[in-house]
Chains A and B, each alone.
Chain A
Amino acid sequence: MTTTLLLWSIFLAQILLVVAMACATFRVLRGPRAQDRVLGLDTLYVNATMLLLTFGIRTGSTLYFEAALIIALLGFVATAALAKFLMRGEVIE
């Protein structure tokens, strides 16, 4: 019973998250401005983090935790670099 409940809720949550990712992807594809695309990538990263966490719960393994941790800790580096590129025209001055 609890298994079913959990499985379904995890499944549902994952679906919601993937749809959220799809929304973000839409912005990445659509733009219209570069900042929208960058923000889309950032959103994609955040949603993916959550997806990985739900996956961890589903498999009962904490091993996927690191991947989520890395995104949380370093996912912003790529988007920050993109932002810097927009603002300054180069990433490292």
Chain B
Amino acid sequence: MTHLADLPVWAAIPVALLLLLGASLALIGSIGFVRLRSFYERVHAPTLGTTMGIGSVLLASMLCFTVLQSRPALHEILIAVFMIVTTPITLMLLARAALYRDRSEGSDDVPSAPPAQTTAPSAPDAAPPV
């Protein structure tokens, strides 16, 4: 771990703090994931990790390597972007699937299907048919 010694204190402290912050957020998110009562509440918890949690760690990483390599270490940005873009897909798909499952079981905790309305414009063309 000799490289860590090369890190000046001004960088080391924020790196350490950011790491701890990120990890703590992830942990809190996961604790919430365990402790919250229903699936729809639990689904919010991991977002702590996927947003600020990982953001902090990425910042720490960027800072660390920028200082160590004396050149901007930016590729961590990609991870952040990918996380922001992809996590919602999972959560959205999952939440809706859970909703369907709960509705089909007749659960009272979820809103029933929207009432029938008068004719409305059709779905955008973008929707890929399945």
Contact = CB atoms under 8 A, between A and B. Distances in A.
Given A43-B49, A76-B90, A80-B93, A53 B57 contact: yes
B9 interface: yes
Given A50-B54, A76-B86, A7 B101 contact: no
Interface residues of B, number: 61
B110 interface: no
Interface centre among B4, B60, B78 (most CB of A within 10 A): B4
Contacts of A87: 93, 96-97, 100
A33 B98 contact: yes
Chain A interface size band reads 35 or more
B86 A73 contact: yes
Contact of A54 (B5, B57, B87): B57
Nearest to B94: A83
Interface in A40-81: 40, 42-43, 46-47, 49-50, 53-54, 56-60, 62, 65, 68-69, 72-73, 75-76, 79-80
Interface of A: 1-3, 5-10, 12-14, 16-17, 19-21, 23-24, 26-27, 33-36, 38-40, 42-43, 46-47, 49-50, 53-54, 56-60, 62, 65, 68-69, 72-73, 75-76, 79-80, 83-84, 86-87, 93
Interface of B: 1-5, 7-9, 12-13, 15-17, 19-20, 22-24, 26-27, 29-31, 33-34, 39, 42-43, 45-46, 49-50, 53-54, 57-58, 60-61, 64-65, 68, 73, 75-76, 78-79, 82-83, 86-87, 89-91, 93-94, 96-98, 100-101, 130
